[in-house]
Amino acid sequence: MNRTAALLSLLLAVPAALAEELAVNPDAGNSGFSAIFDAALGERINAVSSAVGCTVTFDEKTSLAAGRCSVPLTSIKVDADETKSGHFHDWATNKKSDPKACTLEAVFSGVKLGPLAPEKPAAFAAQIPFTVCGRTRADGGKERLAGTALLFPPGAYGEKKTIRIRATIAAFDRDAYRIGPGYTEGWLARVQSLAKVVAPTGAVELSLFAKAK
């Protein structure tokens, strides 16, 4: 009787162990991060990076995903301009830490991506906490991420299963994370002149290819 109970317990535990591990390779160049800030009276600023890295656990039975994604601050380029990029790095760190040690990061769990099927993008939405150089949003809130997930079975996009995720945060507020000249030493004298040309809120877009390990 004890052996039967032990076997039943083992069988019940198997589905939880079948959750699959996937990863987004930050060096592959096929995944990307883009943030567009378009000021009504000023300029359109586009910050981009292709160095998005993720580790994801996906349970095909429940269609739930959990994991962590991050973008190194120094990989983000603003309008392909070194000076603008340097300014953004100053604003993100508030000149209080080394930009090389800073990441933009999201840790998530219980995100329902499916059910997934080839050639049929599945819509999803989730509330996800973000941090910038370790700082959470000032109000402690999360960002609403909405997008689609598409399954590529083995052989369709490489040898292993791949899930392509495209998602957008429609209104990402830099001020909520204290990113900007007003929070950065040495920039205070420029705040007024920049107020009308630097938009504090923009759209953040992600395009990720998560491959099975």
Q: How far apart are CA 151 and CA 173, in angstroms?
A: 31
- pLDDT for residue 156: 92
Contact of 136 with 174, CB cutoff 8 Å: no
Burial 188-209 (b: 16+ CB within 10 A, else e): eeeeeeeeeebbeebebbbbbb
User: pTM value?
Assistant: 0.83
- pLDDT for residue 8: 37
Pairs from 192-199 (Cβ < 8 Å, separation ≥ 24): 196/39, 196/41, 196/42, 197/39, 197/41, 197/42, 197/43, 198/37, 198/39, 198/42, 198/45, 199/37, 199/38, 199/39, 199/40, 199/42, 199/45
- pLDDT for residue 3: 47
Each residue's pLDDT tens digit in the chain (213 positions)? 444 444 334 333 444 446 799 999 999 999 999 999 887 666 788 999 999 999 999 998 999 999 999 999 999 999 999 998 998 899 899 999 999 999 999 999 999 998 899 999 999 999 999 999 999 999 999 999 999 999 999 999 989 999 999 999 999 998 999 988 888 887 655 654 555 556 678 899 999 999 998
Contact of 163 with 114, CB cutoff 8 Å: no
- pLDDT for residue 188: 58
Q: Which helix (H) or strand (E) holds 7?
A: helix 2-17
Q: Write the DSSP string, 94-157.
A: TTSS-GGG-EEEEEEEEEE--S-BBTB-EEEEEEE-EEETTBPPTTS--EEEEEEEEEE-TTTS
Using the structure block, give the residue that is written with the tokens 């830099």: 174
